[in-house]
Structure 1
């Protein structure tokens, strides 16, 4: 089977170091994604992310960190890879790509995973952009499924 990689991306008008830190440090990430974390992302460490409004949590295993460039994780049930890549376009702009891969699903399940993950990670990047560029907490993740 061909390897499927789901990619979402967004330009964020902030330096790569600042955008990278927003994904490493839960004090920032909770402003646009999950509501609670057991700790900061560190290579070799496993943390728990919670979405309290949905009563859902995930164990996130950090496989690799390259400062200001990449965070490689594995999470979910079944576990898949999620890489966050940060490319400095200029001193004050960063192109963020989230790559989700390692699915072992049949055709219908894979189509659903592609749709869910593309939509979900796009929402995360939209929220990150609004928060980092303008200081606005849009509550996109919480409002995605309000029931």
Structure 2
């Protein structure tokens, strides 16, 4: 077992697991609450790049697990592994995010904050069709 910190956040989103999963896999939806561009959709063993235009950052992303409507995992940023799970909760979905490979407590706090914003933005977009711009507004002067 590693001594490195692990980040975990979760939120209930009032849509079906398939709808929540699709929002993460389809960049035409994901740009509404997370990054600004993608070179393609996520799928089994997909290799894409995600860009945050407001920050001038692009990262490679490689899908390691793709179980439609249930689980999506990928490797990205300095070899970190991120896993989204989509658990039914009545007619809704409990979305959980877990990331390992985090090197420090400071990075753990920043990563936790970032994924909390992603889930809050996803919730607003999927439940209310509102784009909050949370990720871009977190560091407006970058």
Q: TM-score, normalised by structure 1?
A: 0.92
The Cα shift of 1:44 comes to 1.1
Task: Let me know the Cα RMSD of the aligned residues.
Answer: 1.0
Structure 1, unaligned runs of 5 or more: none
Separation in structure 1 between the aligned mates of residue 57 and residue 76 of structure 2, nearest angstrom:
13
Equivalence for 1:146: 140
Q: Structure 1, residues 24-80: CA drift from partner, whole Å, max 9, x if none?
A: 00000000000000000011121000000110011011001111000010000x211
1:116 corresponds to 2:110: yes
Residue 25 (structure 2) pairs with residue 31 (structure 1): no
Deviations 1:100-146 (A, max 9, x none): 0133x3xxxx1011101000000000000000000000011111100
User: What secondary structure, in the 3-state scheme, does the structure 2 residue paired with 1:53 have?
Assistant: coil
Q: Report the counterpart of residue 47 of structure 1 in structure 2.
A: 48
In structure 1, how many angstroms separate the alpha carbons of the residues matched to 2:37 and 2:57?
11
- Give the gaps of 5 or more residues in structure 2: none
Map residues 62-81 of structure 1 onto 2, 5 A cutoff.
Answer: 62-76=63-77, 78-81=78-81
Match of 2:84 in 1: 84
Q: Which residue number in structure 1 is paired with residue 95 of structure 2?
A: 96
After the TM superposition, which segments of 4 or more aligned residues of structure 1 sit over 6 Å from their partners?
none
Question: Quick one: distance in 2 between partners of 1:113 and 1:69?
Answer: 27
Number of equivalent positions: 140
Q: Normalization by structure 2: what TM-score?
A: 0.95
